[in-house]
Structure 1
Amino acid sequence: MSEHNTTDMPDKGRLQIQVTSEVTALPISDAVVRISYTGVPDSQLEELRTDSSGQTETIELETPPLEYSLNPAIESQPYSEYTLQIDAPGYEPVSIAGAELLPTVTAVQNLSLRPSDSGQSSEEVFVIPAHTLYGVYPPKIPEEEIKPVSETGEIVLSRVVVPEYIVVHDGSPRDTTARNYYVKYKDYIKNVASSEIYATWPEDTIRANVLAIMSFTLNRVYTEWYRNKGYDFTITSSTAFDHKWIPERNIYNTISVIVDELFADFLSRPNVRQPILTQYCDGRQVQCPNWMTQWGSKSLGDQGYSPIQILRYYYGDDLYINTAESISGIPSSWPGYNLENGSTGNKVRQLQEQLNVIAGAYPAIPKLTADGIYGPATTASVKKFQSVFGLPATGITDYRTWYKISEIYVGVSRIAELT
């Protein structure tokens, strides 16, 4: 598409790029990001630089009309595609072709760069394939939603644990040439949701789909489905077997915030310990009786259905939302109530200590006295943290913020231990 007149791109989406080091997990400042239309390489539109938090400013870029991603009858591509070239001194350059921008929402492109060993640096190129609602992908091969528990003790886990990382096999199970990726669980869910639904959809539709994706994934984790078949991964990126996951694709703020809010949840049936393998299809190219359809869930969201009502509409009334008993890789769990101006105690001190470690890596976040008193300084530090990491900047440490601080703290301090 070389004709970029404003008639076919009447709306605007937003884009922000975040760059960290693959080795230290620390932000990379002064990385240069060049943005052009995919397919028109010499059409540079913007050149951005990352700040001390490794982030560019958020810019507006043209997209197709909002209606395209909201109406299943419209078959035009609902997102625009941009090519991002990222260069930072001392790192291997990366190019991403086909970053997907939808109107009205912010696309976030997270990238970790590999330090360059020699003077020779070769650009790594990632080509983002079509969105699953727009391209043609193999439909899911149906499976039982509850796996048999055999006497041989194949299922070893006695409780549902949210893993810190999962291993994603980027291909179908028997494809030995496909690479395995270690991916943080939340990042995996955000990637899949961004690949399989449109971020412009109603919030409760997004919640229902995120719950289905997480429950399916946790079923694979809990039953050790692939490991019991002799494979060394948790899940695949093949839509015939699992979900679409795409290396280095951008995610969207509307999806990211919902995953941060729900990440410990899954779907249950009475008296069944394992998370339910909630399979679904798109409902436009493929139909699937007794499973959720994504376009159908969009229509129910438009009608005001809640996430559990959407899910029960498809999977039956005995489905309910459960919360995992534990979350891996977290120094300590959320206190169970918001920490805010006036809060005191050990949990506040712990929060302050974690923020100080993070501030060592992200100098935009102010350092604190770890005195266990949540005053204006702590509020300001939390607010800045939230704005850097894509959460509503309230200055209040709610569930999402507590676990996001934990996650960043673990990433930054773990690397410090290794070095």
Structure 2
Amino acid sequence: MKKMDTNQVDNGKLQVQVSSLPQNHPIDQASVSISYTGDPQNILEELTTDNNGRTPVVELPAPPIDYSMAPNENQPYSEYTIKVNASGHEPVEISGCQLLPDSTAIQPVQLNPETPENPFMDIAIAAHTLYYEYPPKIPEDEIKPVDETGEIVLSRVVIPEFVVVHDGAPGDPTAANYYERYRDYIKNVASSEIYATWPDATIRANILAIMSFTLNRVYTEWYRNKGNDFTITSSTAYDHKWIHGRNYFDSISQIVDEMFSNYLSRPNVRQPILTQYCDGNRVTCPNWMAQWGSKYLGDQGYSTIQILRNYYGQDMYINTAEEVSGVPASWPGYNLDIGASGPKVSQIQDQLNAIAAVYSSIPTTNQDGTFTENTQHTVQAFQSLFGLPASGIIDYPTWYKIQDIYVAVTRIAELT
């Protein structure tokens, strides 16, 4: 039996981000209290959200960083309970928010409007897969047959807007289904499966494996072809660990935003590869990626593709999806910077102004189709608020982040 370590010698950072359901708009002046999950009555921080729905970033105690650098009997993260109250909304309590040392944890909180039908929401975040013993993955073929009669297969690889997560084993009829935006789903899984303290190349390799596995489920309509109404499950025996309501980590979030349209391929195989993996400590998995092993390779300076090929073979390569679903317009194929002009600039200015109407720390920009210093300042404010490098240049990650936030704030999601 593993044990909770009380020797909190390092610090991690935490920010709570509060928004409303179903509009996804930030909630100003929400009251947020933070306490140890083991001592919920002892309030450590009392915070208030700003007009962007964000609390200040606070430093809180965390275990020694060494605990997350090798398999350890001591819990490598501290756990906090977060209580959120806002006028006109039902309160939420989240217990078990995980904080790693030298990392910034982001805890999203979505509040329902206050009605008799919306009860108090209590979310308990389950333990991390590398600390708690979950069922090991049941092996499957990494390439699915697509020539069976009645097989449902997409004609091309598309990044979905949503995935439907069945929160349990495939055959569990009592498990709830959750509609999750694709990038949010990947951030949740990566934060549940690996540690944000690991080397950058290791994090990227694991995120690519998670995305490729997920897109294989999407592309082959694996569960829907079996008569189910979901995309993927939260069971480690069948898929990845996804934890309802959990926090994610800023470093993982940035990498997902940069790489979200990528997946892993083999020559002459159209579908994304079902890249299976295991922890490599409690469970061994020849020909799959070992999570702890990938960490040690990252320590030795292996690149992302070298880590992946070490486990999956030299014929594995990184591919890019042909289409991103649910966005108003596709990436123009080049960066937008000062001096750029045309309909793509005009569209992005319109989208930034719509976002600025909701997030007041972002200044509006001229909507004239010309990328000026005025537009650059707006882009920099957007990048700073949403965790991107504040270059003022609309590169690939920034373009799709603008699309993502624009859709979130201008359309009430039909699936919530």
Counterpart check, 1:386 vs 2:404: no
What is the match of residue 98 of structure 1?
Answer: 96
Partner residue in 2 for 1:243: 240
Indicate yes or no: 2:166 matched with 1:166.
no
SS of 1:17 mapped into structure 2: strand
Corresponding residue for residue 70 of structure 2: 71
Q: Please name the residue that 2:215 is paired with.
A: 218
Moved more, 323-332 or 408-417: 408-417
TM-score, with structure 2 as normaliser: 0.96
Whole-Å Cα distance in 2 between the matches of residues 147 and 400 of structure 1?
31
For the 8 Å contact 2:192–2:242, the answer to whether it is kept is: yes
Q: What TM-score comes out, normalization by structure 1 length?
A: 0.96
**Quick check: 1:11 aligned with 2:10?**
yes
Secondary structure at the counterpart of residue 9 of structure 1 = coil
The equivalences for 1:313-328 within 5 A come to: 313-328=310-325
Query: SS of the counterpart of 1:111?
Result: strand
- Residue pairs, 1:9-408, within 5 angstroms: 9-72=8-71, 74-118=72-116, 122-408=119-405
Deviation per residue, 1:77-100 (Å, 9 max, x gap): 110000000111111111110000
Q: Give the counterpart letter for 1:100 in structure 2.
A: Q
Structure 2: segments with no counterpart, 5+ residues: none
Cα distance in 2 for residues equivalent to 1:328 and 1:283: 35
Equivalent position SS for 1:51: coil
The structure-2 alpha-carbon separation of the partners of 1:177 and 1:121, relative to structure 1 and needing over 3 Å to count, comes to: closer
**Cα distance in structure 2, aligned partners of 1:10 and 1:264:** 38
Distance in 2, matches of 1:49 and 1:121, equals: 23
Return the alpha-carbon distance in structure 2 between the equivalents of residues 417 and 204 of structure 1.
36
C-alpha deviations, 1:23-53, integer Å up to 9, x for none? 1111111111100000101110001111111
The one-letter code sitting in structure 2 at the alignment partner of 1:104 is: D
Distance 2:146 2:22 in 1: 40
Distance in 1, matches of 2:94 and 2:253, equals: 20
- SS of 1:415's partner is coil
Change beyond 3 A, Cα 1:416–1:301: closer
Structure 1 unpaired stretches of 5+ = none
Moved more, 335-344 or 43-52: 335-344
| Change in CA separation of 1:151 and 1:242 when aligned onto 2, cut-off 3 Å | closer
Shift of 1:416: 9.8
Instruction: List structure 1 segments (4+ residues) > 4 angstroms apart after TM superposition.
Output: none
User: Does structure 1 conserve the Cα–Cα contact (< 8 Å) formed by 2:5 and 2:63?
Assistant: no
Structure 1 residue 285 displacement after superposition = 1.0
Q: In 2, are the aligned partners of 1:93 and 1:121 still within 8 Å (CA)? A: no
Kindly indicate whether the alpha-carbon contact (under 8 Å) linking 2:22 and 2:413 is maintained by their aligned counterparts in 1: no
Q: Is contact 2:146-2:153 (8 Å) kept? A: no
Report sequence identity in percent: 65
Partner-residue secondary structure (3-state), 1:42: strand
Alignment CA distance shift 1:359-1:417 (3 Å): farther
Q: Do the aligned residues in 1 keep the contact of 2:5 with 2:74 (CA within 8 Å)?
A: no
- In structure 2, distance between residues paired with 1:341 and 1:61: 40
SS at match of 2:39: coil
The letter of the residue matching 1:181 is: Y
Distance 1:127 1:26 in 2: 24
Query: 11-20 vs 144-153, which deviates more?
Result: 144-153
Contact 1:155–1:224 (8 Å) recurs in 2 = yes
Q: Give the drift of 1:296.
A: 0.3
Shift of 1:385: 1.0
Deviation at 1:122, TM superposition (A): 3.8
The one-letter amino acid of 1:328's match is S
What's the CA shift for 1:388?
1.4
Q: Distance in 2 between matches of 1:416 and 1:268?
A: 32
Aligned-residue RMSD, C-alpha: 1.7
Provide the rounded CA distance (Å) in 1 between the counterparts of 2:388 and 2:88.
Answer: 31
Report the AA paired with residue 96 of structure 1. Answer: I
* Cα distance, 1:319–1:27 mapped onto 2, change above 3 Å: same
Segment of structure 1 superposing worse, 121-130 or 212-221: 121-130
Distance 2:5 2:218 in 1: 45
- Residue 51 of structure 2 aligns to which amino acid in structure 1? S
Separation (CA, whole Å) in 2 of partners of 1:77 and 1:284: 16
